[in-house]
């Protein structure tokens, strides 16, 4: 087998030939967790050890992703496939090379560089080889957790990567470079198979960068990429959960009676489902051992805690403290979750669950969707945010994110929706719309649907009980609502029966939300079929 020294020399030669990385540079290749801890604690200010053994780090000025600074290079191999617009902003090949040169020049000024070779995708037939080149041990450890760690043999035979990330996040982009909107730049070049990061040390840019890359390459290869969580029952039945922030995706897919395949990014191939990642990137705000024991206990040696506040002596983390940011996070290997399924692969999904948190109080707690409705609601990606006003009055605000992950789409949303419909039809998967939001009235009047009812609905889906129930059509939206569901009160199941206000108020709210759906879908109807357009609400 190839020795460590030989592997490092091969990597040095590749980086010198392909990127001009200095030959004299100390390359720290696929270091162990302990080595990365030592380097981070020794060389990176603002790095500490938590009382639980996790590495506490700072992501610098940026505490979250910078979607406005993301660019896709316009080049002949991919230009016709990319959904250009607000999500995918064009960058010329020459500007990409300017930024790439700037990143490499910066990396060449560093005493040491960290190089991680790992995989994206648990399916050995569809995985890609990813190389991360960075100057911070924190970034190397983060991606060691988030990608799939190679065995010794796989590392010895790794060869050339399929995609390389040059992370020079400590160094700014030049604002006078054509097309730059700030000192931050995150750009992907599909022809060169490279990603360049300048002006942000937020590690989530690398995670979502890899997802964006997979979101392009996988559909191109006939594999559907999805922003979803996935779990598997004792009988091997797989469920996919889609949902934006605050809908309960993480909570409802973490089921003690089912195995977790993954919490965020998956692909659906001809063989079934596979997780893209080797780890989880969990929100930590208000985390407690009582509410989320699996995540709480995963924060230990090997995990990376970002931007958290801790006690200066005891090093106990205060997860309620939002003074640095509300977006406190932890990255840990998926095997730190006790009921994770390893390898993270499963069969073809039996249930597709679309989660929404409707603050208007008019969507049912559960509805069974036909194929066209599933495509319509998948493309819409609806939930509602609660926005405060100066007077303290709160009004729900509709949010639509195509395919429940618009910031990471590369192809047009209908590409993913058509592939999903094809897979659902081929494997006879059932689709469900589940509202974990308000019931009995809008936010401020009605009540949030109890978590125990949402769990009971999911349990009834998994047991097959819900599919056997009698259904009635819900007007305007045309959804099929079950008349009964085990352990859920009948009046909760139908929004009109649960409504506490007047019938006129209810009808007005239904029309209001229906119109928002219809207006939003106008963005996609040029590439959607008539059947899918007609599956939406009628106003």
CA dist., res. 131 & res. 206, Å (int): 11
- Is 27 in a helix, a strand, or coil? strand
Exactly one of 63, 131, 227, 415 is catalytic; which is it?
A: 227
DSSP calls for 381-429: -EEEEEEE-TTS-EEEEEEE-GGG-GGG--S-HHHHHHHHHHHHHHHT-
Exactly one of 32, 94, 109, 245 is catalytic; which is it?
A: 245
User: Is the peptide bond prior to 343 cis by the omega test (within 30 degrees of 0)?
Assistant: yes
Active site residue 329: yes
* Structure-block tokens of residue 102: 């700037």
Exactly one of 131, 207, 249, 341 is catalytic; which is it?
A: 249
Q: Which helix (H) or strand (E) holds 350?
A: strand 349-356
Exactly one of 63, 65, 131, 415 is catalytic; which is it?
A: 65
CA dist., res. 7 & res. 156, Å (int): 7
CA dist., res. 319 & res. 118, Å (int): 31
DSSP calls for 131-199: EEEES-HHHHHHHHHHSBPPPHHHHHT--S-SEEEEEETTSPPPTTSTT--SS-EEEEETTTTEEEEES
Exactly one of 70, 329, 377, 412 is catalytic; which is it?
A: 329
Task: Determine contact, residues 57/39, Cβ cutoff 8 Å.
Answer: no
CA dist., res. 114 & res. 119, Å (int): 16
Residues linked to residue 278 through DSSP beta bridges, in sequence order: none
CA dist., res. 304 & res. 76, Å (int): 39
CA dist., res. 313 & res. 413, Å (int): 50
Exactly one of 250, 269, 356, 414 is catalytic; which is it?
A: 250
Exactly one of 25, 208, 350, 368 is catalytic; which is it?
A: 208
Neighbour-count burial of 392, counting CB atoms closer than 10 A to its CB (0-12 exposed, 13-18 middle, 19+ buried) = exposed
Closest residue by Cα to residue 402 from 385, 392, 415, 391: 415
Active site residue 208: yes
Active site residue 423: no
Exactly one of 117, 264, 358, 430 is catalytic; which is it?
A: 264
Active site residue 250: yes
CA dist., res. 260 & res. 231, Å (int): 4
CA dist., res. 224 & res. 216, Å (int): 10
Active site residue 65: yes
Active site residue 249: yes
Residues labelled catalytic: 65, 208, 227, 245, 249-250, 264, 329
């Amino acid at each position: 087998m190839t020795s460590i020294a030989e592997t490092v020399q091969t990597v040095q030669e590749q980086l010198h030939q392909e990127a001009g990385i200095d030959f004299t540079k100390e390359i720290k290749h696929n270091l162990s967790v302990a080595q990365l801890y030592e380097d981070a604690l020794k060389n990176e200010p603002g790095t500490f050890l938590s009382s639980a053994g996790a590495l506490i780090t700072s992501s610098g000025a940026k505490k979250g992703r910078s979607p406005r600074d993301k660019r896709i290079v316009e080049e002949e191999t991919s230009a016709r496939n990319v959904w250009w617009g607000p999500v995918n902003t064009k960058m010329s090949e020459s500007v990409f090379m300017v930024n790439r040169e700037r990143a490499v020049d910066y990396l060449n000024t560093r005493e040491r560089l960290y190089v991680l070779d790992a995989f994206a995708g648990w399916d050995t037939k569809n995985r890609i080889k990813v190389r991360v080149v960075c100057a911070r041990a924190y970034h190397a450890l983060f991606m060691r957790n988030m990608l799939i760690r190679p065995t010794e043999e796989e590392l010895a035979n790794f060869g050339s990567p399929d995609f390389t990330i040059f992370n020079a996040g400590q160094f700014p982009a030049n604002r006078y470079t054509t097309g730059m909107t700030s000192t931050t730049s995150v750009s992907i070049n599909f022809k060169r198979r490279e990603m360049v990061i300048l002006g942000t040390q937020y590690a989530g840019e690398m995670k979502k960068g890899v997802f964006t890359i997979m979101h392009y390459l996988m559909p191109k290869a006939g594999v559907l990429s999805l922003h979803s969580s996935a779990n598997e029952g004792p009988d091997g039945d797989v469920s996919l959960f889609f949902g934006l922030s605050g809908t309960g995706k993480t909570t409802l897919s973490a089921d003690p009676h089912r195995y977790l395949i993954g919490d965020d990014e998956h692909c659906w191939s001809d063989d079934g489902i596979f997780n893209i990642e080797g780890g989880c990137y969990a929100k930590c705000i208000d985390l407690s051992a009582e509410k989320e024991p699996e995540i709480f206990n995963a924060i230990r040696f090997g995990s990376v805690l970002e931007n958290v506040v801790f006690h200066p002596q005891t090093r106990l983390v205060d997860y309620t403290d939002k003074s640095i940011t509300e977006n406190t996070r932890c990255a840990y290997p998926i095997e730190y979750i006790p009921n994770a399924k390893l390898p993270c692969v499963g069969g073809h999904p039996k249930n597709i669950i679309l989660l929404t948190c409707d603050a208007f109080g008019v969507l049912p707690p559960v509805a069974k969707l036909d194929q066209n409705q599933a495509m319509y609601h998948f493309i819409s990606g609806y939930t509602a945010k609660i926005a405060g006003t100066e007077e303290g009055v709160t009004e729900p605000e509709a949010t639509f994110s195509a395919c429940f992950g618009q910031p990471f789409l590369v192809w047009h949303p209908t590409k993913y929706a058509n592939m999903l419909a094809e897979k659902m039809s081929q494997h006879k998967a059932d689709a469900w719309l589940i509202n974990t939001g308000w019931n009995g009235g809008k936010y401020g009047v009605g009540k949030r649907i109890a978590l125990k009812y949402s769990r009971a609905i999911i349990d009834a889906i998994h047991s097959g009980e819900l599919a056997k129930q009698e259904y009635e059509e819900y007007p305007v939206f045309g959804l099929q609502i079950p008349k009964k569901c085990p352990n859920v009160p009948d009046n909760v199941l139908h929004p009109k029966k649960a409504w506490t206000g007047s019938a006129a108020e209810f009808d007005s709210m239904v029309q209001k939300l229906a119109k928002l759906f219809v207006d939003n879908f106008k963005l996609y109807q040029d590439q959607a079929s008539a059947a899918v357009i007609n599956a939406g609400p009628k106003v």
